[in-house]
Structure 1
Amino acid sequence: MTASSAFRGLAQVNIPADDVAAARDWYARALGVPPYFQQPDAEAPAYVEFRLGDHADELGIIDRRYLPPGHSGDASGVIARWHVDDLPGTVSFLTGLGATEHEPVTPRGDEGFVTASVVDPFGNVLGLIHSPHYLDQL
C-alpha cells in the first residue's frame, strides 16, 4: 500500500455537541435538509447524520460524552471546509442563524480560491470555501 492509495477521500466529518437535538435542529435549518439518520432515536439522539452536496458527504453530530478522552471543547484544530457557491451569502446566512465569524471571507491568491469560517452555536468551527478545483472535479 502507498500513501496515495491509503487515503481514498473524506468520508465523514463529525462535530460534537452537548445538546445533539438542538444542534440537529440548527444544522437542519442551516443546511436546508433533515438528518437521514438518528441514533438511538429522534427524541433523544446521541448521534445524527446529514448527507450533503454533490457526493452525499456525511456530516455527523455526536454527543460530546462519546469523544475520546482529552478532546478539547475549544473551537480549534482541523478545519474541514465545505464548498459553497456564494461564500459571502452563506456566511451572512449562518451568522443570521446565530453562528459567529471565525475567519472573515479571505481570497487565497489569484486563482479564485476564497475561504471563511464560522463558529456554530455549539462551539464548532464550520469551514467554508469557494474552490475552483472542487468545481473542476465535478
Structure 2
Amino acid sequence: MEKQNILGLRTTAYKVGAIDIAKKWYTKAFETEPYFVEPFYVGFNIGGYELGLLPEENQPNEKPESVLTYWGVNDIEKVYNHFLESGAIEYEKPHSVGGPLMIATVKDPWGNIIGLIYNPIFKLKE
C-alpha cells in the first residue's frame, strides 16, 4: 500500500498585533497553556493539532476572509458562548449546515476569524 504524500492539517497560525496579550487571550479562550513560547511564535497543542500565533507588526484595519479553520467541538453553543465571554466578537452564530453538522465563527481581538464545528460524522484516519 502506497503512503499518502499529504498527511493532513498540522498547524493553523493566526497573526496578532501583541503576541504577549494574544498568548494570554488564546490561553483563556482555548483553555490550554502554550507548549512553545518565543517572541517570534507561540504554539498551542489543541487536540493534537497546532495553533500558532505570529506577531504582526503592521496590523491591517480589516483582515481578508480567504481561509477558515474550524476547530472541532462537542457542544457548539457552550464553546461559542465561552469564546464570547473571553472577549471574542460575534461573527456567525451557531447554525446547521445540513444533517447534524453545525458551524459558528467568532473574531479574536485582532480580527482573525476562528471557526467552530460540531461534526459527529467526521472521523480521523489512523
TM beyond 0.5: yes
Distance 2:54 2:117 in 1: 24
Identity across aligned pairs (percent)? Answer: 30
Out of 46, 54, 60, the position equivalent to 1:52 is 46
CA distance in 2: counterparts of 1:128 and 1:75, whole angstroms: 18
Q: 1:98 aligns with which of 64, 67, 87?
A: 87
Corresponding residue of 2:21? 22
Shift of 1:62: 0.3
Shift of 1:137: 3.5
Query: Structure 1, unaligned stretches of length 5 or more?
Result: 40-44
Equivalent in the alignment of 1:116: 104
Name the CA distance, whole Å, in 1 between partners of 2:16 and 2:30: 17
The residue correspondences of 1:61-80 to structure 2 (distance < 5 A) are 61-65=53-57, 73-80=62-69
Aligned length: 123
Tell me, what secondary structure is at the counterpart of 1:51?
strand
CA distance in 1, matches of 2:67, 2:86: 23
Match of 2:75 in 1: 86
Q: Which amino acid aligns with 1:104?
A: K
What amino acid does structure 2 have at the position aligned with 1:124?
N
2:32 corresponding residue in structure 1: 33
**TM-score (normalised: structure 1):** 0.80
Letter in 2 for 1:50: F
Which residue matches 1:132?
A: 120
Larger helix proportion, structure 1 or 2?
A: 1
- Coordinate RMSD, CA, aligned: 2.3
Structure 2 unaligned residues grouped into runs of 5+: none
Q: Distance in 2 between matches of 1:137 and 1:47?
A: 27
* Matched-pair contact (CA < 8 Å) for 1:75–1:123: no
Q: Structure 2: how far apart are the matches of 1:133 and 1:85?
A: 12
**Normalization by structure 2: what TM-score?**
0.87
